[in-house]
Structure 1
Amino acid sequence: MTNVFVNLPTTDLERAKAFYTALGCEINPQFTDENGACVVWDDNVYFMVITREFFSTFTDKPIADPNASLQVSVAFSRDSREDVDAIIAKGIAAGGTEPKPAQDYGFMYSRDLDDPDGNSLGFLFMEPAAVEQGPEAYMAAQAAEA
């Protein structure tokens, strides 16, 4: 089994913790201090929200400003379109922003959410039949039924 840890820089650790708990995550206090917090997404996915100052000790490269440039977008599947809309609403209420309108491809529905630091999160729902058949076959079957 593989666990995934995504490190995200923040300018305000308390604000970042509040944002991610508003999305339904928990903070693991064993791996949280004044430099960063371990945000538990699920049993195998964790975010480490880390102060920009401490984050800069991990590398000799400059730390990008996620409000100005996008280096990584982390995407999560949801069980329905309604689940996608619900988590976006929670994120916006907690200080996040939606950088562009929802994207509906027929077989897949996705929306993006930037956390208060500008880190990009994506949420998507894909029709189960499209996962099994592939997007083109699913869309062809939908067109034949119409």
Structure 2
Amino acid sequence: MSKQVFVSLPVTDVARSTAFYEAIGFTKNAAFSNEQASALQWSDTFSVMVASHDFYATLTPKQIVDPRTSSQALFALAMDSREAVDAISAAAVAAGGREAHGAEDEGFLYSRGFEDPDGHGWGPMFMDMSAASEAA
């Protein structure tokens, strides 16, 4: 089995969050989804589990923070192009997310930022490796 990353996110509405993540390109894995949680796959190695607060609370004894007012993590998504960065950001806003920041262009690195409906922060980015080598 290859190394994989599975991120669990507490959400207030599993159905709404599932629809949001599907709208930005994640694929729901029905075998690991129900009313309490949805498994959403981004790639062969990265998946997100959106879980109701009640279910998420069974995974940790720690208090669930409100990601609209507190930050615990930000997630970057490597994209294939600047256009893909813009497209996923537009899809996120259209699906009920919020733009966290507009385009930032460092020449070799292009990024944007958005939040899901619960406030979890995502940063799609495109890195031009040949330009990055030249900048170093």
Normalising by structure 2, report the TM-score. Answer: 0.94
Letter in 2 for 1:57: T
1:113 corresponds in structure 2 to: 114
More helix by share: 1
Deviations 1:90-144 (A, max 9, x none): 111000111122211111011111000101111001112145x2xxxx237xxxx
Letter in 2 for 1:39: L
Question: Secondary structure in 1 aligned to 2:98?
Answer: coil
Question: Secondary structure in 1 aligned to 2:67?
Answer: coil
Indicate yes or no: 2:100 matched with 1:99: yes
- State how far apart, in whole Å, the 1-side matches of 2:95 and 2:102 are: 19
- State how far apart, in whole Å, the 2-side matches of 1:94 and 1:51 are: 19
Higher-Rg member (1/2) = 1
2:61 corresponds in structure 1 to: 60
After TM superposition, list the pairs within 5 Å mapping 1:7-46 onto structure 2: 7-46=8-47
Identity of aligned residues (%): 44
More strand by share: 2
Residue 10 of structure 1 and its aligned partner are, at CA, apart by: 0.5
Preserved contact between residue 4 and residue 45 of structure 2 (Cα < 8 Å): yes
Letter in 2 for 1:65: D
- State how far apart, in whole Å, the 1-side matches of 2:75 and 2:6 are: 11
Indicate yes or no: 2:83 matched with 1:82: yes
Instruction: Provide the alpha-carbon RMSD of the alignment.
Output: 1.2
Aligned residues: 135
1:139 corresponds in structure 2 to: 135
Question: Secondary structure in 1 aligned to 2:62?
Answer: coil
Deviations 1:46-88 (A, max 9, x none): 1000001111121111111111111111111111111100110
> Can you give the 5+ residue segments of structure 2 that lack an aligned partner in the other structure?
none
> Can you give the 5+ residue segments of structure 1 that lack an aligned partner in the other structure?
141-146
- State how far apart, in whole Å, the 1-side matches of 2:7 and 2:104 are: 24
Letter in 2 for 1:70: S
Question: Secondary structure in 2 aligned to 1:54?
Answer: helix
